Amino acid sequence: MIPDLFQIGPSLLFVAPLFAAIAAFVRPRAGAGIYLVSAGLITVASLALVLMVGTLGAWRMDLGGWVPPLGIGWQVDGLSVAMLLLTALVMGGAGVYRVAEGDAGHSPLFWPLWLFLWGGLNALFLSADLFNLYVTLELVSLAAVALIAMGGRTALVPAWRYFIATLLGSTVFLMGVALLYGQHGSLDMRLLQGALGPAAIELLASLLITLGLLLKGAVFPLHFWLPAAHGRAPSAVSAALSGVVVTAAFYLMVRLWFGPFSPMLTPALALALGAMGAMGILWGGVMALLQRRLKMLIAYSTVSQLGYVLLVFPLVASGILAAQAWHGAVVLILTHGFAKAALFLSAGVLIRSLGHDRIDRLKGPGQGPALAWLAFALGAVSLVGLPPSGGFMAKWWLLQSALAAGAWHWALVILAGSLLTAVYLFRVLGGPTAGAMTPSSDHSTRAMGFTALILALAAWIPGFVPIPLTGALADTWGMP
Amino acid sequence: MNAVVPHMSLDPGWLILSLTFPSLGLLLLCTGIGRRYALACLPWAPLPALAAALLAPPDTTLALPDLFAGVMFRLDGTARAFLLPAALLWTLAGWYAATAGGLRRGPVFAGFWLLALSGNLGLILAGDLYVFYIGFALMTFAAYGLVVHEGTGEALRAGRWYLAMMFAGELCLFTAVALVAVAVGGGMLAFTAVGLAPGRELIWALFAFGFALKLGLAGLHAWLPLAHPVAPVPASAVLSGVMIKAGILGWWRVTSPHGALVSDWGPWLMALGLITVFYGVLSGLNNRDPKTVLAWSSVSQMGLIALLAGLALAEPGTAALAWMGITWFVMHHALAKGALFLGTGLFQGSNDSQRRWLLLLLCVPALSLAGVPYTSGWIAKAALDLSLTDSGYGPWLSAMLTASIAGTTLLMAHYLQSLWRTPRPNAPSPGAPWLPWGLAMLCLASLPWTGWAPEYIPPIEPSPVMLAQDLWPVALGLALFFALFAGRSRKFRWPGWRVARAFEIRASAVWVGLSRLEQRMHRWATVGGLFMVLAAILLSAVWLGV
Amino acid sequence: MTFYLLLATALFLMALYGVFASRHLLRRILALNVMSTAVFLWLVTVARAAPGLDPVPHAMVLTGIVVTVSTTAVAVVLVVRLRASHRRHDLP
């Protein structure tokens, strides 16, 4: 029986949202109901995979019984189930938020696209095949663009810019994949592992793939599309984009550079990637400080926070406390996803009840529903990285690794990023806590606030339930 | 590595109860009925901790080896010296908050209060550095909610200062603890591990900065006289009476096990402490709001504690005596400041005849703080004097101590005068929490005489000579007050003491320029150029590496 | 053989320039299409070069064409929407 479960579990994660999307397309009126049922199913399946990897270890599966290089392989390991968990909670939570928001101004295409996005993300985190990754990246982009465009007239141009950037990224990625295939006749990551060497064409291929991912991950200085796209989209979509969709690019960079590309990860390249991350942390933080709209501030904060993930390259390359750095980056992706989703969702609640998101008119948590402010504050504390939140654990590990390597410049960047985060979030939270706090009288606002609160609390979990540095859940090939 | 892993203890129940009780209060706040009686929870939350401080067997330990790299709570002698005053004052101030009335938005206040309490108890009972650090951060940032509770412009400004400076301190402590963790390389972060770390001087410097910020030592004190007075009265009492001392506990924890290694830091700390003592007094005389005067007096008193801690480092021989002085100071200052702040709150809400009595009674903690013979303050200062004499620093330090007694007397007289001048309230306050205040007064007055707190039985036999010796500085302070300040308002002018007021982020030319640059980076043509540059950089990085 | 690879490379670089330099919305879409075509050309050439006939690149190209058609469709819909709401066919 158990071997079947190994096959069925991962497949369900892709098939269930796809069929649900078709069902929601055919019956738009039942969209929310179909979503809730399938979301429950997918979340349970994701949790089951986490448990299985946690207890039984990682495994691979070949779709349809075809063995690579001809077939397509999926891998289920610590890193991918962590991302699946992030996806399940953020997509599930933001979807519930959308259900609570009600049908007003609601396009019938929302639920099919939303489920499509979820399925694409699940497939992306499971794929072990480079071409399959390209296809899933395109799936995700298509769904994401259409969802952004639902933000109304002001969202059209950001959606367009995002689409061009992400298509360009995918095509550059695909060129790299084509180069690799020409050399090796295989695109399975496990088969490529150890087969790649520092030959010119392979270097070029890895470079093209990385450039495509940098564009898709909005890494400084290629972050031009992100703030407007994430800031203008509907709040639930912003939460999904900032929490999961962008991080997919970072996931792939970590996966590839510590997997098949690891022989080519030279110290100079690690330094270059780390420097881009560091500049992103600082530039994104300063830009967040200068924003006038709450959602734009949160979007710039994404540019800043995800820069931390790139610090993993120089820190791991230094070879001291590499596991700490690696775990710090993974926990950062997770806690950032939860906290950022909570921030966007609570911003959505505030916009709904106050009618605007201008920071100078918010004047602190005295106005609007108390629940949304509580969620915002909890998410913000985790984003800053104050103990004992989950964000603290991430920065704690990254900082330890930087200090152990004697890399004071990275340590200073980590601390300065925390400081900047604290300052720009304090701009929002520092106003008077007194005022006309409304105890969110209507049902839907309360439900929306609750989903935001639950996501914010999820960002605190790694602070209390430590993710083991060793052990089954850390079972990821390619981990240093 | 874990040099101090103790035998598994007899009775960790004390610690479990003490640590979980405030969280139970927080859980209660999640229910509707808990929110209605939110403030009524406050006096109960620290009671198990109070009982543990009085009754628990020595070295009670709670080890949770499976949590993180191993987490330990421990009630050793050091912790007990801080736990008793903390639990006592948290109880009394919570009682005050529950009965005073007039506190708006009770549940929010109670939430921040309980969080800060949990943090404070956690850091006191912490058996290792990691737990201490987390408790410290929790307490510090939860207290922000107490500082800005009134929501006035003044409170928000104070809150900004508080948060900015506390965050700077937090980053220092974060780095220091991470450095220790790196040095330990996994496993529990014992307090003793600091001395083993390479680069320990830097670690101590970071700790010193973070803890000095919390203590409000001169130069790092800007937040303290702003933040302590703007909070509601019971919160001011715990901020000034208890939380401030987390700094000295932390410093003692990370330095005292290392003896001679840290002795270089002693003289610097002593000098800073001395400066702080007088700076606090002189600045306090500049203010006429009684709560602000009390906050400055806290700055000054923390200077004395820093002096003691520095002495213990500089002259390891006097460490035991200095430690006794610190415990006395912690206990006595907590009770005296608590009584003074709560009394100030009572005074502001009472009518004329009550005011006369109150003022008279408030002379007791005021004089005790000044160190009048037969009060708790006198014994604290006697311990300080004794360790100074022992250390061979010469008579000039004792003279400074005498001057500080005169200064504190002057400041306290100034406080009583400013209190007397506060305008009467328009409406009588809804509640009159006389009992908690009275209890604080009773504990303070009885401290040198009774054995209710076993470790605080006076160690010194008073003699007539000592009496005369210690009375004249007080008389001098009073004389100075009547000569210079009584009836008049006089102000010293510090040259440029408000230099760093401009903390607000304003749109300056730099910001505008950065925004323009960002706009330019959004153009497709620029993006194309950046994309190619990035490709070139990565390509050369890859090529050079090979 | 080498000729086709060089052609693919040249097409790719030209398209890359076109994406950044062109102002008209449709031109940008076309540039991206040319870019994918360059990749397909590369893949087909690689398949041809393999001993025997490698079916995998052909499968990839077929999938890629499907993906490109759908992305182009979505992009064109966006262009139509943009024209309707902004009355412009060039955007910064």
- Summarised one tens digit per residue, pLDDT across range A117-157 is 999 999 999 998 999 999 999 999 999 999 999 988 889 99
Mean pLDDT of A376-399: 91
pLDDT band, residue C92 (cuts 50/70/90): low
Gap from A222 CA to chain B (nearest CA, Å): 7
Number of domains in chain C: 1
Q: Give residue A46's pLDDT.
A: 92
Asked whether the beta carbons of B117 and B90 are under 8 A apart, the reply is yes
- pLDDT 10s digits, C23-71: 888 999 999 999 999 999 999 998 888 777 788 888 899 999 999 999 9
State yes or no: pLDDT of A473 exceeds 60. no
- The pLDDT mean for chain A works out to 88
Measured between beta carbons, the chain A residues lying within 8 angstroms of C64 are 134, 174
How would DSSP label each residue in A320-360? SSHHHHHHHHHHHHHHHHHHHHHHHHHHHHHHHHHS--BHH
Whole-number percent of chain B with pLDDT over 90: 25
Q: Does C75 touch chain A (CB under 8 A)?
A: yes
Q: Has residue C92 been placed in a domain?
A: no
Q: Search chain B and give the residue with CA nearest A205.
A: B539
SS3 content of chain B, % helix, strand, coil (to 5): 75, 0, 25
- pLDDT 10s digits, A293-306: 999 999 999 999 99
- pLDDT 10s digits, B409-468: 999 999 988 888 888 776 666 667 888 889 888 888 888 777 666 666 655 666 666 677
What are the tokens at A411?
Answer: 């340590």
Q: Has residue B443 been placed in a domain?
A: yes
Gap from B270 CA to chain A (nearest CA, Å): 30
Mean pLDDT of A190-203: 82
Are B389 and B489 within one domain? Answer: yes
Rounded Cα gap, residues B216 and B211, in angstroms: 9
State yes or no: pLDDT of A377 exceeds 80. yes
Asked whether the beta carbons of residue B525 and residue C19 sit closer than 8 angstroms, the reply is: no
Q: Has residue B1 been placed in a domain?
A: no
Asked whether the beta carbons of A232 and A155 are under 8 A apart, the reply is yes
Q: Give residue A249's pLDDT.
A: 95
Residue recorded with tokens 């992400």:
A166
Q: Give residue B501's pLDDT.
A: 41
For residue C39, the domain's CATH number is 1.10.287.3510
At how many degrees (to 10) do helices B395-420 and B376-391 cross? 160
Can you give the length of chain C in residues? 92
Rounded Cα gap, residues B525 and B509, in angstroms: 26
Longest dimension (CA), chain B: 89
Q: How far is CA B227 from the centre of its chain?
A: 12
Q: Give residue A435's pLDDT.
A: 54
Q: Give residue A432's pLDDT.
A: 65
Q: Give residue B210's pLDDT.
A: 93
Gap from B137 CA to chain A (nearest CA, Å): 7
State yes or no: pLDDT of A108 exceeds 80. yes
Instruction: Give A181: exposed, middle or buried? Use CB within 10 Å, 0-12, 13-18, 19+.
Output: buried
Are B400 and B481 within one domain? Answer: yes
Of B133, B148, B505, the CB nearest to A433: B148
Are B533 and B436 within one domain? Answer: no
pLDDT band, residue C16 (cuts 50/70/90): very high
Q: A369 pairs with which residues across the strands?
A: A438
First to last CA, chain C: 39
**Best B147, B518, B532, B539 residue to mutate vs chain A (most A CBs within 10 Å):** B518
Measured between beta carbons, the chain C residues lying within 8 angstroms of A171 are 32, 35-36, 39
Residue recorded with tokens 């305008």:
B423
Instruction: Please state which of the ranges A75-89, A194-208, A429-443, C47-61 shows the lowest mean pLDDT.
Output: A429-443
What are the tokens at A364?
Answer: 């602190």
Asked whether the beta carbons of A88 and A17 are under 8 A apart, the reply is no
Rounded Cα gap, residues A334 and A84, in angstroms: 10
Q: Has residue B427 been placed in a domain?
A: yes
Measured between beta carbons, the chain C residues lying within 8 angstroms of B527 are 20
Range of the domain at C13: 2-86
Q: Has residue C12 been placed in a domain?
A: yes
Asked whether the beta carbons of residue C19 and residue B528 sit closer than 8 angstroms, the reply is: yes
Of A153, A163, A171, the CB nearest to C75: A163
Q: Give residue A22's pLDDT.
A: 94
- The pLDDT mean for chain B works out to 83
Range of the domain at B533: 509-545
Residues of B in CB contact (< 8 Å) with C are: 522-525, 527-528, 531
Mean pLDDT of B261-288: 87
Instruction: Please state which of the ranges A217-231, A399-413, A438-452 shows the lowest mean pLDDT.
Output: A438-452
Q: Give residue B468's pLDDT.
A: 73
Here the ipTM equals 0.95
Number of domains in chain B: 2
Gap from A79 CA to chain B (nearest CA, Å): 21
Sorted by sequence, the CB contacts under 8 Å of residue A185 that are 6+ apart come out as A69, C50, C54, C56
Of B138, B178, B521, the CB nearest to A399: B178
Gap from C53 CA to chain B (nearest CA, Å): 33
Sorted by sequence, the CB contacts under 8 Å of residue B6 that are 6+ apart come out as B59, B61, B74
Q: Which helix (H) or strand (E) holds A369?
A: strand A368-369
Measured between beta carbons, the chain A residues lying within 8 angstroms of C75 are 163-164, 167
Q: Give residue A115's pLDDT.
A: 95
Chains linked to A by 3 or more Cβ pairs within 8 Å: B, C
Rounded Cα gap, residues A77 and A92, in angstroms: 22
Are B522 and B414 within one domain? Answer: no
Q: Give residue B453's pLDDT.
A: 66
Q: Which helix (H) or strand (E) holds A60?
A: strand A59-62
Instruction: Please state which of the ranges A35-39, B197-201, C17-21 shows the lowest mean pLDDT.
Output: B197-201
Whole-number percent of chain A with pLDDT over 90: 55
Are B371 and B460 within one domain? Answer: yes
B179-191 burial code (b ≥16 CB/10 A, e <16)? bbbbbbeeebbbb
Nearest to A91 by CA among A281, A230, A240: A240
Gap from A28 CA to chain C (nearest CA, Å): 20
Q: Does A205 touch chain C (CB under 8 A)?
A: no
| C 46-85: CB under 8 A from B | none
Mean pLDDT of A412-435: 84
Q: Has residue C26 been placed in a domain?
A: yes
Gap from C20 CA to chain B (nearest CA, Å): 5
Asked whether the beta carbons of residue A271 and residue B541 sit closer than 8 angstroms, the reply is: yes
Q: Search chain C and give the residue with CA nearest A182.
A: C46
Asked whether the beta carbons of residue C92 and residue B528 sit closer than 8 angstroms, the reply is: no
Mean pLDDT of B301-325: 86
Of C16, C19, C92, the CB nearest to B523: C92
Measured between beta carbons, the chain A residues lying within 8 angstroms of B527 are 222, 224
Asked whether the beta carbons of A90 and A125 are under 8 A apart, the reply is no
Mean pLDDT of B275-291: 88
Are B442 and B295 within one domain? Answer: yes
Find out whether the peptide bond into A221 is cis, omega within 30 degrees of 0: yes
- pLDDT 10s digits, B103-124: 777 888 899 999 999 999 999 9
Q: Has residue B364 been placed in a domain?
A: yes
State yes or no: pLDDT of A94 exceeds 90. yes
Q: Does C92 touch chain B (CB under 8 A)?
A: yes
**Best B524, B526, B530, B531 residue to mutate vs chain C (most C CBs within 10 Å):** B524
Task: Kindly state the DSSP code that residue A293 receives in the 8-state scheme.
Answer: B
Return the domain boundaries, chain A.
266-480
How would DSSP label each residue in B184-206? HTSS---GGGGGGSTTHHHHHHH
